[in-house]
Amino acid sequence: MLRLAICGVVAWGLVVASSAAFAADAVKDASAAQVAPVAIGGQVADVTFKDIRYAAHNLKDFGEKKAYVVVFTTLDCPVVKRYLPRVVELEKAYRNRDVQFVSMNVGPNDPMVEVAYQALQVDAEFPFCKDFDGDVARAMGADRTPQVVVLDGDRKLRYRGRIDSQFRVGGVKPDTGREDLKEAIEDVLAGREVKVAETPVDGCPITFAKVTPPAKPVTFAEDVAAVLQKNCQECHRPNAEGPFALLSYEDAVDHAETIAEVVKEQRMPPLYASRQHGDFVNLRGLSPEERTLILNWVAGGRQQGDLAKMPPTPKWPDNRWLIGEPDLVVQMPNRVELPATGYVKYKYVVLPHRFEEDTWITACQILPENKSALHHCNMAYIDPIKGKYSDAQFITGQVPGGIPMILDKGVGFMIPKGNVLVLQIHYVTTGEPTTDQSSVGFVFAKEPIKKQLKHFRCHNGTFAIPPGDGAHLVEAKRTFAKDSTLVGMFSHMHLRGKDMIFNAIYPGGEKETLLAVPNYSFDWQMSYVWRPGAKKFPKDTVVDVTAHFDNSSFNPYNPDPTVTVKEGDQTFEEMMYGFVFYTEDDENLNIAVDPKTGHEIHAGKEASNKPAAAAQAGG
């Protein structure tokens, strides 16, 4: 299968105490119910919450508004599900009247990726955020969902209660009754006292996160080590994607608070696809029991335990080539000099190797020499006389969170005769002058090729994202020319990319969501690989890809929310690409390949005994 992994870069910092944490949490849990709600007219504390990118915010990040509407939600409350479409309608009605809406998820176990997808499902264009510790709900006196709170421009609490009285846990009234939220907003905008400032909410009680002491002490050796081996060490080890190792007790203790935060938030192992769609083989995630183990270990004093009882340490490969020893290695001809600061324009590097015959490969890896400076890199083949770089000749990429292309048995990728390789490289500055001279490696086919890996790109380059637009829609479509089997999908946008959804529209009109990436991450551009043979498309099936871009100031990574953004190579510009990899069902090539060269073996021609050339800089 085509594999691009989902390993983790870490950049966080949590507040989980040591062995006293259980007692502190118990006090917090016991006292939470006794905290008096903020009085109507009272100033709301400047509390922090997180957006779908896991970036921390407070209400000031929305800028000065005439009113703020906070809707407390969960993923499973039936009353929330009924009311969200109405909230979306209200937000659209008040958007141009300087009213800021925000959905605040308070479900302790609701994954952020599904919170983001909830916004897409109801076509909401306002921010969906998460209150991990319940601090926002407590500060605003919320105890049920979908309770709403209205603050005025000075962030004083002016209304707390229901949206209206139509939907209840036990049934539905024929009409909305008094539109309490709407009336409260109108009163605030008019500068008058809210006529009905507080109403009861018939919804779902908010359950705040709670740390429960385990029946017996949790130790690294007997409990945590096995979880890290299974879920973390593939990336968090030397020469792998993770920024630090997690092989030993000392490694884990040194990063205990970071581990606890990202585990609690379900940020690691990384996942940016909704589990509601797709039959993917490369998705990871900790079970609830595994998350609890790690959180209890950190909160319980990070005990080492008896190291003699640790499970055997896995024998991870110590070489840099995750595809195995390559048959062909090609290095960049010259060293690239990189400045300490500023933007670096995309580099296009032609590699010093020409393919003299059609060449079949089954694995390929781009190996950065300088991982901190090379953010991502695409490789394509081109005709050195006629051609120029084009994603249409795309072979593979090196992206944050990815590992190399490795194809299923009998499937190969063909680089045409006479072509050379070109790298499109996006470098980032690291704070000091540095260099890079990366390499690529190929494994030639060792068995007959039955099918050729193919791909198309759902690409739109004509968009113009207006300044301040928080959810600008861009769409692109492509059609399968033959009956085909899906291999995998990959989305690519830049810093304003917010989400991307791949839908299949079958010849009969039926529509199916293949992949939903509701909280796209520029730093984790993961591929999503289907179980081999699991998804087939009849001829003329359309793949419809939709994406939203966030050009608002609320996007913490937005280079400039005041400009119109169009397509371009640089990260302060944008791209919209939805890659679809597939094979054609009626194809049965049965091509015999020389395993030493990757060339087709023609009738009467013996396989070469000569080893494949390794084109390295300096010979």
Of residues 372 and 151, more confidence is placed in: 151
CATH number for 113: 3.40.30.10
Is the per-residue pLDDT at 98 higher than 50? Answer: yes
Q: How far is the first Cα of the chain from the last one, in angstroms, to the nearest whole number?
A: 34
Predicted pLDDT of residue 18: 35
Over residues 157-182, the mean pLDDT reads 93
At 131 the three-state DSSP class reads: coil
Residues 60 and 166 in one domain: yes
Is the per-residue pLDDT at 392 higher than 90? Answer: no
**Domain membership flag for residue 592:** no
- The predicted-structure confidence for 48-70, as pLDDT tens digits, reads as follows 999 999 999 999 999 999 999 99
Residues 149 and 198 in one domain: yes
Count structural domains, the chain: 4
User: Which pLDDT band, with edges at 50, 70 and 90, does 346 fall under?
Assistant: confident
Is the per-residue pLDDT at 6 higher than 50? Answer: no
Predicted pLDDT of residue 168: 86
Is the per-residue pLDDT at 260 higher than 80? Answer: yes
Predicted pLDDT of residue 274: 96
Residues 306 and 427 in one domain: no
Predicted pLDDT of residue 401: 67
Is the per-residue pLDDT at 156 higher than 70? Answer: yes
Q: Rounded distance, CA 273 to CA 307, Å? A: 37
Residues 307 and 391 in one domain: no
**Where would I find the beta strands (DSSP E) of 357-436?**
359-367, 374-382, 394-398, 405-406, 411-415, 420-427, 434-436
- The predicted-structure confidence for 218-236, as pLDDT tens digits, reads as follows 999 999 999 999 999 988 8
Q: Rounded distance, CA 283 to CA 269, Å? A: 9
Instruction: Read off the tokens for 249.
Output: 């007790």
Domain region containing 425: 328-450
User: Which pLDDT band, with edges at 50, 70 and 90, does 391 fall under?
Assistant: low
Predicted pLDDT of residue 93: 97
Over residues 7-12, the mean pLDDT reads 34
Task: Determine contact, residues 466/426, Cβ cutoff 8 Å.
Answer: no
Over residues 475-482, the mean pLDDT reads 98
Beta carbons within 8 Å of 216's beta carbon, 6+ residues apart: none
Is the per-residue pLDDT at 140 higher than 50? Answer: yes
**Closest by CA position to 471, among listed 546, 541, 539, 390:** 546
Over residues 332-345, the mean pLDDT reads 93
Instruction: Point out the domain boundary residue: 205, 224, 240.
Output: 205
Over residues 451-457, the mean pLDDT reads 95
- Phi and psi torsions of 463, nearest 5°: -75, 160
| Residues above pLDDT 90, as percent of the chain | 75
**Closest by CA position to 295, among listed 133, 523, 56, 139:** 133
Residues 438 and 468 in one domain: no
Residues 219 and 182 in one domain: no
- The predicted-structure confidence for 185-201, as pLDDT tens digits, reads as follows 999 999 999 999 999 99
**Domain membership flag for residue 598:** no
User: Which pLDDT band, with edges at 50, 70 and 90, does 237 fall under?
Assistant: confident
User: Which pLDDT band, with edges at 50, 70 and 90, does 523 fall under?
Assistant: confident
- The predicted-structure confidence for 71-96, as pLDDT tens digits, reads as follows 999 999 999 999 999 999 999 999 99
Residues 303 and 245 in one domain: yes
Residues 175 and 60 in one domain: yes
Instruction: Point out the domain boundary residue: 205, 223, 251.
Output: 205
Query: With DSSP H G I counted as helix, E B as strand and the rest as coil, what are the percentages for the chain, rounded to 5?
Result: 15, 30, 55
Instruction: Read off the tokens for 391.
Output: 């994603």
Of residues 39 and 3, more confidence is placed in: 39
Beta carbons within 8 Å of 232's beta carbon, 6+ residues apart: 8, 242, 246, 268, 269
**Domain membership flag for residue 423:** yes
Q: Rounded distance, CA 261 to CA 17, Å? A: 12
**Domain membership flag for residue 593:** no
Residues 77 and 198 in one domain: yes
Task: Determine contact, residues 142/549, Cβ cutoff 8 Å.
Answer: no
Predicted pLDDT of residue 388: 67
Instruction: Point out the domain boundary residue: 427, 450, 473.
Output: 450
Is the per-residue pLDDT at 501 higher than 90? Answer: yes
User: Which pLDDT band, with edges at 50, 70 and 90, does 398 fall under?
Assistant: confident
Q: Rounded distance, CA 47 to CA 40, Å? A: 18
Please report which residue ranges of 122-255 form alpha helices under DSSP H: 135-140, 180-190, 225-231, 249-254
Residues 477 and 573 in one domain: yes
Is the per-residue pLDDT at 612 higher than 60? Answer: no
Q: Rounded distance, CA 470 to CA 556, Å? A: 12
Q: Name the DSSP class of 258.
A: H
Instruction: Give the type of residue at 124.
Output: A
**Where would I find the beta strands (DSSP E) of 237-368?**
328-331, 336-338, 347-354, 359-367
Is the per-residue pLDDT at 394 higher than 60? Answer: yes
- The predicted-structure confidence for 360-385, as pLDDT tens digits, reads as follows 999 999 999 998 899 889 899 998 88
Residues 439 and 462 in one domain: no
Q: Rounded distance, CA 144 to CA 158, Å? A: 18
Predicted pLDDT of residue 284: 84
Q: What's the mean per-residue pLDDT of the chain?
A: 89
**Domain membership flag for residue 321:** no
Predicted pLDDT of residue 385: 82
**Domain membership flag for residue 590:** no
pTM, rounded to two decimals: 0.88
CATH number for 387: 2.60.120.230
Beta carbons within 8 Å of 198's beta carbon, 6+ residues apart: 40, 159, 160, 161
- The predicted-structure confidence for 579-605, as pLDDT tens digits, reads as follows 999 999 999 999 999 999 999 997 555
Hey, how many other C-beta atoms are within 10 angstroms of the C-beta on 440? Answer: 25
User: Which pLDDT band, with edges at 50, 70 and 90, does 390 fall under?
Assistant: low
Residues 58 and 161 in one domain: yes
Is the per-residue pLDDT at 479 higher than 90? Answer: yes
**Domain membership flag for residue 616:** no
**Domain membership flag for residue 241:** yes
Over residues 303-314, the mean pLDDT reads 92
Predicted pLDDT of residue 11: 31
Predicted pLDDT of residue 97: 97
